Structure 1
């Protein structure tokens, strides 16, 4: 026994010594001094109490070099994963398990687009923008050259390769892909439309005003083509790449001076993205003789997507415009049918490098619409089809604009992904622009499902001008807002179909709050709106369900007086969500089982249940007790809405009793509604627990303004996977006092004290300053670094 104890002690000591050596090699350095020929003048970097770098330089390119260096020192692993995802090169780092993902990502064409647009950028982008991007990339590569590899590279036995302009565009491509809810939605919607039929289809929330379906020549044959609804499942599986940001919502509003207590513009933004460790944004404050801004940077991108200067601020939400079309193609060998003619498919051979294995070669086949992502199905995507990609010129311009007119000119450069761009400035201007290149489609084309690719009459006809995009500047009501809702039809702009817009719950909450007749808005009052955890829609749903259950002979007393609040100690939301899930299953799963007797019904149902359309359909279903969805097709009788809802109540309580115990008083919401900010290595035993941040109990609702997203599923848990990626609030009366918060911290280095130091503040609804005044920065300084020319 003594020998066992001694052996165990030696083993533990060896592990401790090894980890100490690794920690020493990977420990972050916030007080470095560097000499290099890549800067022309001295650069000073002051790190504040949140490890935000305040970079002071004599030139913009020197400042960008410093930004690239410190960004890489904190987020290199995240940067690498993002560019590899956009290029379909994850296997070269993570091995054979990623080959299927890489094949899919490479097929979409983001890498090919990056090669083309990087070449165009280097040939035609303004020289000063190219120099700024070069400075940023030089900084990243200088850190890589020092061989201070983050822990993750040591664990996988790999070295990062230098970054290029092409990598920046690969990262941008994956960002655009993460907006593409169509890939998750249209395949399963198409299957539902043609396998379940019109009586069921008409009750789904897929309406588009002014759009009708005109049958095509081969409509009768559509139900005979191969089932490709599994594409939705593949896309959902790819979402598990947690270090790669998934854009999943957002709130923003800007209030004009005559509605605020200070008499200046108040600006708020919380962009909703998938949670991960590290979190999405890296904050940095840049000061040169020409420019000063405080920016939120995505991994590997040189210019901030969100930020502010002392003169103006900008933020974003998802536009959720329809920028992807799927075409059913008639394929014969290596040719396809279009306009009565057989045309040759474009054939491209791709090779995927695999860590620890042999390269994998495969072929991508394309029609003029785009790549075949499944046999007989091509994908047309604005991001790859539009002839120009000037996104980084736009991002650069946002922080350098001299006023609202110049800012709008930069906004017009954005082609994809589609965003709602929010703006406010010190002069009292406020604005909102829906930014994207919007394709002109024939009136008869219904893009909710797949389009006949053989008919030339179904082709995209061109592009709307930016002036036709939904937009609003300095409205009389005194505010602009966005929450991924369908854009308002304003001025001469078009009502552009997005058919996956979020329900209007959050948008209505913002609009109603800001429409109150008061002129004393402050950042603090806006933050209270940001943190609102009530759901008025779920309250309304619960009222309808309680009434139906009563007709069905069940008293759902716990939810009779629910006000829609979602506190961690509340019992009502625990019951509501399980009841909602059981109701949806009771109403719809039987139809899926009948239409998919091959055993794929549950997979298809779960894919459907993860869509925005599913979320938006449930209130409509409750309001339509005559819908055919309520009847169980597996029985001889006719079930009613009351029957299904009452049975779902009983089933939901049984589920909760089995999971949380028999006493309903113990069914606290926080026991099921938790979040863990997961690292890419979360599945590695012990290591994942160390690198993850959490779990933590959370309040708030799926559709509240303080939106924590989770998916209802067979397992009885409400584990959150996305939410606000930051919460920004600022008043132009005190720009240097603007506030924000990140879900974890500035650093992606687990050995850093700034890896998760903001998590307790974030999840308790607190904020911290975004410092801009030198005196304030130095008063909260934690360390200082310098980069000097040789």
Structure 2
């Protein structure tokens, strides 16, 4: 993880000139340089791309609601408005997905570009375009026309303050026209960050190679606690379950390490993958999301309620862009009347509601990506004793201030050889522990394979062209559960949990996505590519994926827990989130439905629940061991703690410090690179270990034995907080440690103060924590600062769509110093929301600015 955080901190001296330009602008002497990039929000603008007039209403938060007579004009207008607000974000994202960061940031980005070119995200996106419905292609093309209409009107720094820096970094860089493929490529970025358990796959292999036995590794990845934490759906196909035999196809006993050269190749690839910059903001092992729907039987309005808050990286601007898209008259030719959250650069609304239905997403998290250790002989891969020729293509990475890098991408039957990307970047021997193979007899096959040429190939569902873009527009126009499911059928990657509610009173859930059916193995360890028994056999049929409609208990909760229970015939994954968030939401909803009369305010209150459910198993043990001084006073705090991690809680501050030190002391042999996270996985692991005082994990470290480790964790926590927060434990505050700074992905971690001041968000204190319902994740090896967040929050009452509420992490604008750059952040931190108007009268009532977009002439 460290690589992704430091990637943009290594700069050449030329950046200093960019910093000087920005410092002048931010100081006020360059106010014109800043303001000239702000969007036009009043009056009229001529756009040659339009066929008719479009109108853009913006409310007090700058959130656009767009009206047009045709679908194509609606998306042309959306493209123009997205570019007005967020073009640097769009441009940086397309440079990333195309593997072109080196063109701007120089040689330090060659490794990233080599990996992304090897996977070929943009190539796959280009292939997808031809597979899409004609209507979808027309919408994507119209959106691109709107973006390009914006580019035709502005140049250089008029498009954003970042382009002033870009001019200093690389004066020869040219901004190309936007295309439909640029939009489709962003779906690959979304799929990459939500791809499932690949990090666990490489990590397990690395730990095995480091000498930790397989049995002990399995203790770090326990089975999902189905009896304690309810799956999403239960019983039958409309509530199936996942098959929990995680060792299918594997032999008993510890897996043997592969040959040294094979382990080295796997090590390089594992480190290279971890160094890739996350697409949806900083990553965290606790990354997840919440959504739920409640039947009208339990609501004040008599109609369903829906709540959603996806958990993604904390970045500036936010991943999301709030938008309303309205055909002036809804017809078969112009079927859109929808409001919600989308991605700048992609037409349509990803999460939201129309006049008939509402829907929300959380990550399903199935295992859709496998690494294959390949036996390479020359330009062929060995499979079942036969040589299969590799397919090849040439890629050239242009490097600002340096020479172009040309390399060959080779692929096996399983996918592109990521090990070739490492060779292309000339970054061998990064120093990670060598990962291993597939957990069983395949490990011994690796050791016995003839010769010494090895590579690592990636099989990933997103590397095959698909039709997810179709699904977005079908969802936007769906009007009942049948059309909702038909739209979900096309949502191939990333596989998601979709929750549903409609104005007729129905609620539902559907798990869509392309999910592989494996031969041997379970996808938890890198597999032997030379044995075709480990190949994928196809994909689970959509009609066999978990689905439920109007369950008897009257509500559905999805929070990345197991999709279903242990009777389902298909293997989805063995690496779920462990269900603490989902069970807490379930508990709160069960209590609320017994009372009835639920409102959107009640849903918002649940979204802000800060209970650390994992602490319930740990605190009794912390209270019974010996402690002195500040540590003993810290124990007094824990004795009265309600387990809520509010920002002003002294007990939450002390507990999280103690827990962080507890993990360091207990799992010291894992090393920093593979440290256990502070969220749900460690909660379950530590819970089990606390009942096993003789476990080897309590031995051999700086403190010997369970109780000694607990006492030392308390002592270290008290010492740390005394140094940082003062001598009086009653004055310690969780929020003073647990702060959020939304960071600009490309310029916000440069180490250059003017750049960071100009582009990053203002720090705010945060409540919650990793794997709480209010999931403000943090990495304990880096401190307590927030890295992942509920990236937005939305609550919808199907009885009154104008009463829906929403909030974004930052604001509508991506422009530094703009009034709407971070005007929602303080609201977000306090758990507040703003009105989400839908009907035309409600939009007009809240409209602060109106912009008319006219066709030329």
Whole-angstrom distance in 2 between the partners of 1:76 and 1:384: 26
- The one-character-per-residue Cα deviations of 1:105-163 (angstroms, maximum 9, x if unpaired) are 22223122112212x24xxx332222222111100111111123211112111442111
TM-superposed deviation, 1:233: 4.6
Q: Give the 3 Å change call, closer, same or farther, for CA 39–692 of structure 1 in structure 2.
A: same
**1:452 paired residue among 508, 513, 528:** 528
* Runs (5+) with no aligned partner, structure 2: 1-21, 168-172, 225-243, 331-335, 420-453
Residue 671 of structure 1 aligns with which residue? Answer: 736
**CA displacement 1:709-729 (0-9 Å, x = unmatched):** 11111x5x3100111111101
- Is 1:366 the counterpart of 2:411? The answer is yes
d(CA) in 2 for partners of 1:262, 1:496: 40
How far has the Cα of 1:418 moved from its partner? 1.1
Question: What is the correspondence of 1:66-465 to structure 2 with a 5 Å cutoff?
Answer: 66-118=77-129, 120-121=130-131, 125-147=132-154, 148-157=158-167, 158-194=173-209, 195-207=211-223, 209-212=244-247, 214-215=249-250, 220=256, 222=258, 224=260, 225-227=262-264, 228-229=266-267, 231-239=269-277, 248-288=287-327, 289-290=329-330, 291-374=336-419, 376-385=455-464, 388-442=465-519, 444-465=520-541
1:533 & 1:221 partners in 2: Cα distance? Answer: 43
> Is the contact made by 1:364 and 1:372 (CA closer than 8 Å) also made in structure 2?
yes
Match of 1:595 in 2: none
Given that 1:185 and 1:232 are in contact with CA atoms closer than 8 Å, whether structure 2 keeps it comes out as no
Deviations 1:505-540 (A, max 9, x none): 110011112223233211111111111111122232
Distance 1:199 1:245 in 2: 28
What is the CA–CA distance in structure 1 between the aligned matches of 2:24 and 2:259, rounded to whole Å? 65
Q: Over residues 541-577 of structure 1, what are the superposed CA-to-partner deviations in whole Å (9 max), with x where a residue is unaligned?
A: 22233345689xx964432332211122222222222
Partner residue of 2:674 out of 597, 605, 608:
605
For 1:17 and 1:561, how far apart are their aligned partners in 2? 51
Structure-2 change in CA distance of 1:13 and 1:235 (3 Å): closer
**How far has the Cα of 1:90 moved from its partner?**
1.6
Q: CA deviation at 1:175?
A: 0.8
Match of residue 424 from structure 2: none
TM-score of the pair, normalised by structure 2 = 0.83
Aligned match for 2:614, one of 521, 537, 540: 537
Shift of residue 362, structure 1, vs aligned partner? 2.1
Contact 1:243–1:278 (Cα < 8 Å) also in 2: no
Partner of 1:483: 559
Please give the secondary structure, in 1, of the residue aligned with 2:323: strand
| Contact kept in structure 2, 1:702 and 1:709, CA below 8 Å | yes
* Matching of residue 509 in structure 1 with residue 584 in structure 2: yes
**8 A contact 1:183–1:232 mirrored in 2:** no
Distance 2:69 2:201 in 1: 51
SS in 2 for 1:542: helix
Query: Scaled by the length of structure 1, what TM-score is found?
Result: 0.90
Q: Deviations over 1:473-501 (max 9, x none)?
A: 111111111001111239x9546432332
Alignment match, 1:681: 747
Q: 1:16 to 1:535 in 2, by over 3 A?
A: closer
Aligned CA distance change for structure 1 residues 547 and 487 (closer, same or farther; 3 Å): farther
Q: CA deviation at 1:770?
A: 0.9
For the Cα contact (< 8 Å) 1:468–1:493, is it kept in 2? Answer: no
Return closer, same or farther for 1:729/1:632 CA change in 2, 3 Å cut-off.
same
Cross-structure match for 1:770: 836
| Structure 1 counterpart of 2:801, from 721, 735, 738 | 735
Segment drifting more, 454-463 vs 242-251: 242-251
Aligned equivalents of 2:820, 2:181: Cα separation in 1? 30
Relative to structure 2, which stretch is displaced further, 614-623 or 128-137?
Answer: 614-623
CA distance in 1, matches of 2:26, 2:391: 54
Shift of 1:94: 2.8
Counterpart contact for 1:268–1:526, Cα < 8 Å: yes
> Are the equivalent residues in 1 in contact too, given 2:193–2:279 (CA < 8 A)?
no
Please tell me whether the aligned partners of residues 49 and 149 of structure 2 are also in contact (alpha carbons under 8 angstroms): no
Q: Report the equivalent of 1:64.
A: 75
Kept in 2, the 8 Å contact 1:329–1:377? The answer is yes
Per-residue Cα deviation, 1:60-115 (whole angstroms, up to 9, x for no partner): 11111111101111011111122222221222233332222111222223122112
- Report if aligned partners of 1:470, 1:494 keep a CA contact under 8 Å in 2: no
Instruction: Identify the residue that residue 748 of structure 1 maps to in structure 2.
Output: 814
Tell me, yes or no, if structure 1 residue 620 matches structure 2 residue 688: yes
Secondary structure of the equivalent of 2:258? helix
Once the two structures are superposed, what CA deviation does each residue of 1:417-450 show, in whole Å capped at 9, x if it has no partner? 11001111001111111111121113x4132111
Q: Which runs of 5+ in 1 are unaligned?
A: 1-10, 593-600
Kindly indicate whether residue 705 of structure 2 is the aligned counterpart of residue 640 of structure 1.
yes
Of 244-253 and 505-514, the range deviating more from structure 2 = 244-253
Q: CA RMSD in A?
A: 2.7
The residue number in structure 1 matching 2:437 is: none
Query: Do the aligned residues in 2 keep the contact of 1:203 with 1:621 (CA within 8 Å)?
Result: no
Quick one: which of 801, 819, 823 aligns to 1:757?
Answer: 823
1:687-710, Cα deviation, whole Å (9 max, x unpaired): 211221121111112221111011
- How far does the alpha carbon of each residue in 1:734-785 deviate from its partner, in whole angstroms, 9 at most, with x for none? 1112100111110101242111111121111111111123333223222111
Cα pair 1:86 1:172 within 8 Å, conserved: no
1:213 to 1:204, Cα distance in 2 relative to 1, 3 A: farther
Cα 1:674–1:12 change in 2 (3 A) is: closer
The alpha-carbon deviation at position 243 of structure 1 amounts to 5.8
Deviation at 1:660, TM superposition (A): 3.0
CA 1:417–1:472: 2 relative to 1, 3 Å: same
1:582-601 equivalent positions in 2, closer than 5 A: 582-589=661-668, 591-592=669-670, 601=671
Where 1:694 maps in the other structure, the secondary structure is: coil
The reply on whether 1:41 has 2:38 as its aligned counterpart is no
Bigger shift: residues 535-544 or 762-771 = 535-544
Cα distance, 1:213 vs. partner? 5.0
Q: What's 1:474 paired with?
A: 550
Taking structure 1 as reference, are residues 464 and 192 closer, same or farther at Cα in structure 2, changes over 3 Å only? same
**Residue 378 and residue 616 in structure 1: after superposition, are their counterparts in 2 closer, same or farther (change >3 A)?**
farther
CA distance in 2, matches of 1:216, 1:299: 48
Match of 1:697 in 2: 765
